[in-house]
Chains A and B, each alone.
Chain A
Amino acid sequence: MPIFDQGYQHWEGTLSGHLWRWWTITRHGVRAQLRNRFVRLFLLVAYVPAIALIAVLAVWGLLEQQAESVLTLLRRVLPAEMIAQPQDFRLAVWTIAYSFFFKAELFISMLMLLLIGPNLISRDLRFNALPLYFSRSLRRFDYLVGKLGVIGWFVAAVVIMPAVLAYVLGVGFSFQLSIIEQTYPLLGASLLYGLIIAVSAGTFMLALSSLSRRSIYVGLTWMGFWIVTTTVAGLLTVIHRETIFSQYRNEAMAEWRKGNRPPEGNFQKNRAEWEKYHQAQFQVFSRAQARGEAAWAEVADRDWRPTISYTANLDRLADLLLGTDSAWVTIGREVDRPRRLAGPMMALGMNPRERAQMAALLAQPTSERRLANQIVAQYPWYWSAGILAGLLVFSLCVLTFRIQSLDRLK
């Protein structure tokens, strides 16, 4: 009689309920993806922006402690009021640091999706795995949530985890727990933003993945979608901006040229007159440029062009969640005021051309929103939210159509 019968043995264990069945798919998917060494490598790369973020938060924490080593460095680059009262700018600096961190991590998470996403469903279609899933106690919903969970796990690994880690270390470097009271919305924003990326990009990637049995085509489509929408949006925005600016410049220059003829003779023979002519021309140009900038700021909140870019829409929501605009306004207020005060004194050491530039700059009205207008998208956030919601509905429709249950006639 054999000691152990290798024949069929009955199993006496109990089976779990259906509620968490999707988690099995997620766990299996994550484990399968982590076998790819490029994915593992990329997870490490994703922590580079986090290290930069941690460095910024740590430096600011040390500045708040008035650490001499940090003061020596930052006195040269920051306005005196920020050096004297860094606590007043803590939230703004943290917010801006997080906004740059999210921009970098958004780029990284798009690349990460390119690595892990294309084969999530397409490979199941290629190997006809769906009957194996759906003949078990699993619904389509469980399958899709399980697959989305794989993307969610990796987005959390490259966006949420580094953000949380940076937050904890940032609080640690500030040496005071009261900072949490002021900055906890950033933590909530990080979690919510990670969720938005995972759901939006995840469902879209799954929808693409369900359209083909070849992962390579899915990857190319994803890259095309990402790069083309970003490029088109960038080009249209630049063209629109330049059209406004050139209109002001051309009108101003044409008007000025009517009443100002160029000096006689060439530059070498009549140098002084030509320099005077160029300075005057440059001042007109700078003033036109400033008017163009003001006009641009007026129409920026109605500019739909950036919404063509998928990542710009995600960025717009990140700015909303973090409150990036008000952070830049806070910083802009502190940057603009000393510039205005110090400008005339600084102009003393300048050559005539630089003085003209400075004069043109100072001629512009004071604006605490200048930085915010230049750096943060001004169009309504709900445009982006609407576009992302539309894309989500589209993705869900594709998934519903493509991931059929077995209730169909072959």
Chain B
Amino acid sequence: MLFRLENVTKTYGAITALCHLSVDAPPGATGLLGPNGAGKTTLIRTLLGLIRIDSGSGEVLGLDIRKRQLDIRQAVGFVPEDECLFPAVPGVQFVSYAGELCGMAAADAMQRAHEVLNYVGLGEARYRPVESYSTGMKQRLKLASAIVHDPRLLILDEPTNGMDPAGRQEILELARDLAHNKGMSLLFSSHLLPDVESVCDHVLVLGRGELLAAGKIHELKQAHARAFDVRLKVDSERFARRLDEGGCQTEMHDDLVRVRLPEGRSQTMLWELAQSMAVQIRYLRPQRSTLEEVFLNALEEKG
């Protein structure tokens, strides 16, 4: 298990940031979703042992969050959301300093800094002062400094916030590569559902400090039994009209018909209608929920 929390509660005065939260996250890439104030940042700080929880217990990488905070932070890499820099140093020293702060020997940290800067694509800019880096470069620099000591778990807090599409894509590719090809576990917190979907295998949805949904993304995005996407060789519009007459709900998307069958009917209805109209079905696929739908449904159910 990557991390496990049991009945964790954290309050700030009258505000309850985490409310009896119990969650298990398996190794791999896990997305952390939730609206503002859902408790995502508090959860991350709890995992890092940066805050004192009111009640409950938990482990990160098998280390107790109440007793072994420093060991947890040593084994975990963290990319904070805010823009933050060690000032007045070139990139390579920035990363090497981050490595030394994690307990690496100075020579090891410097060698490793060069390697990870190459990896994140900042090899050419390594001797430039970090203040002169663009937003995207700073984000990649933070990522480099978080992985310099080769953590077992990397936590990314809103890593693509405020980035242009190209920079965002680079960060996502790096995160995906680390999670899927380099064997590093990820906790990826983001508002941007496509980002989470493109990087993560699992997702945790938080709302008002409670766990609203959790599981593998492809399982959460379940196939609907009565909703299908249909594409015909010709005459899609007439086909859609006939479906409407038969009690279905349809939507046209160019030549694609999105159809929701009435209660008690199955996809056989589509085949029968096509046969009766003598039209050829070229494409038929059950509709699946998008992650956005999963997210909104989870919030609605809590709502």
| B96-120 contacts to A (CB < 8 Å) | 97-98, 100-106, 108, 112, 115-116, 118-119
Q: Is B45 an interface residue (CB 8 A)?
A: yes
Contact B118 A128 (CB under 8 A): no
Contact A409 B85 (CB under 8 A): no
Of A7-15, A229-237, A293-301, A316-324, the one contacting chain B is: A7-15
Interface size of A in residues (CB-CB distance below 8 Å): 38
Q: Is B87 an interface residue (CB 8 A)?
A: yes
- Asked whether A10 and B150 contact (CB < 8 A) given A16-B103, A32-B89, A133-B101, the answer is yes
Taking CB atoms, residues of chain B closer than 8 Å to A139 are 70
Q: How far is the CA of A410 from the CA of B40 in the complex (A)?
A: 13
Q: How far is the CA of A130 from the CA of B149 in the complex (A)?
A: 19
**Which one of A9, A126, A136 contacts B115 once the chains associate, using CB atoms below 8 Å?**
A9
Q: Is B182 an interface residue (CB 8 A)?
A: yes
Q: What mask results when residues 17 to 50 of chain B are scored 1 for a CB within 8 Å of chain A, else 0?
A: 1000000000000000000000001000100101
Most central of B50, B103, B177 by chain A CB within 10 Å: B103
Q: How far is the CA of A406 from the CA of B73 in the complex (A)?
A: 13
Contact A129 B87 (CB under 8 A): yes
Taking CB atoms, residues of chain A closer than 8 Å to B183 are 10
Q: Is B127 an interface residue (CB 8 A)?
A: no
Chain A at the B interface: SS class: loop
Closest B residue to A146 by CB, please name it. Answer: B101
Q: What mask results when residues 163 to 199 of chain B are scored 1 for a CB within 8 Å of chain A, else 0?
A: 0000000000000011000110000000000000000
Q: Is A276 an interface residue (CB 8 A)?
A: no
Closest A residue to B131 by CB, please name it. Answer: A127
Contact A8 B105 (CB under 8 A): no
- Asked whether A406 and B84 contact (CB < 8 A) given A8-B182, A21-B101, A133-B101, the answer is no
- Asked whether A132 and B84 contact (CB < 8 A) given A16-B105, A407-B50, the answer is yes
Q: Is B71 an interface residue (CB 8 A)?
A: yes
Contact A128 B177 (CB under 8 A): no
Q: Is B52 an interface residue (CB 8 A)?
A: yes
- Asked whether A128 and B182 contact (CB < 8 A) given A15-B104, A409-B15, the answer is no
Contact A132 B50 (CB under 8 A): no
Contact B86 A8 (CB under 8 A): no
Contact A6 B98 (CB under 8 A): no
Q: What mask results when residues 115 to 149 of chain A are scored 1 for a CB within 8 Å of chain B, else 0?
A: 00000000110111111111111110000000000
Q: Is B298 an interface residue (CB 8 A)?
A: no
- Asked whether A131 and B71 contact (CB < 8 A) given A8-B178, A15-B104, the answer is no
- Asked whether A128 and B82 contact (CB < 8 A) given A13-B108, A32-B89, the answer is yes
**Which one of A21, A129, A405 contacts B86 once the chains associate, using CB atoms below 8 Å?**
A129
Taking CB atoms, residues of chain B closer than 8 Å to A405 are 50
Contact A135 B50 (CB under 8 A): yes
Taking CB atoms, residues of chain A closer than 8 Å to B89 are 32
Q: Is A28 an interface residue (CB 8 A)?
A: yes
Taking CB atoms, residues of chain A closer than 8 Å to B52 are 407
Closest A residue to B42 by CB, please name it. Answer: A409
Q: What mask results when residues 1 to 25 of chain A are scored 1 for a CB within 8 Å of chain B, else 0?
A: 0000011111101011110010011
Q: How far is the CA of A18 from the CA of B106 in the complex (A)?
A: 15
Taking CB atoms, residues of chain B closer than 8 Å to A7 are 119, 177
Q: Is B83 an interface residue (CB 8 A)?
A: yes
- Asked whether A128 and B104 contact (CB < 8 A) given A9-B115, A405-B50, A406-B50, the answer is no
**Which one of A6, A8, A15, A131 contacts B149 once the chains associate, using CB atoms below 8 Å?**
A15
| A7-49 contacts to B (CB < 8 Å) | 7-11, 13, 15-18, 21, 24-25, 27-28, 32
Q: Is B80 an interface residue (CB 8 A)?
A: yes
Closest B residue to A9 by CB, please name it. Answer: B115
Taking CB atoms, residues of chain B closer than 8 Å to A13 are 104-105, 108
Closest A residue to B174 by CB, please name it. Answer: A8
Contact B51 A129 (CB under 8 A): no
- Minimum CB–CB distance from A24 to chain B (whole Å) comes to 5
Q: How far is the CA of A141 from the CA of B15 in the complex (A)?
A: 28
Contact A132 B51 (CB under 8 A): no
Q: How far is the CA of A136 from the CA of B118 in the complex (A)?
A: 23
Taking CB atoms, residues of chain A closer than 8 Å to B50 are 134-135, 405-407
Q: How far is the CA of A129 from the CA of B82 in the complex (A)?
A: 10
- Minimum CB–CB distance from A299 to chain B (whole Å) comes to 52
Contact B150 A137 (CB under 8 A): no
- Asked whether A135 and B103 contact (CB < 8 A) given A6-B119, A7-B119, A10-B182, the answer is no
Taking CB atoms, residues of chain B closer than 8 Å to A130 are 84
Q: How far is the CA of A131 from the CA of B80 in the complex (A)?
A: 7
Q: How far is the CA of A133 from the CA of B70 in the complex (A)?
A: 12
Closest B residue to A12 by CB, please name it. Answer: B150
Contact B51 A18 (CB under 8 A): no
Contact B116 A15 (CB under 8 A): no
- Minimum CB–CB distance from B78 to chain A (whole Å) comes to 4
Q: How far is the CA of A157 from the CA of B88 in the complex (A)?
A: 23
Q: How far is the CA of A347 from the CA of B120 in the complex (A)?
A: 88
Contact B116 A8 (CB under 8 A): yes
Contact B88 A137 (CB under 8 A): no
Closest A residue to B45 by CB, please name it. Answer: A406
A-B contact pairs, 5 of them (CB 8 A): A15-B103, A25-B101, A124-B86, A128-B85, A137-B70
* Further contacts, 13 of them, CB under 8 A, given A7-B119, A16-B105, A127-B85: A13-B105, A15-B102, A15-B104, A16-B103, A18-B74, A127-B86, A131-B80, A134-B50, A135-B80, A136-B101, A137-B70, A137-B73, A409-B17
User: What are the nearest 3 A-B pairs in CB distance?
Assistant: A15-B103, A11-B150, A128-B84
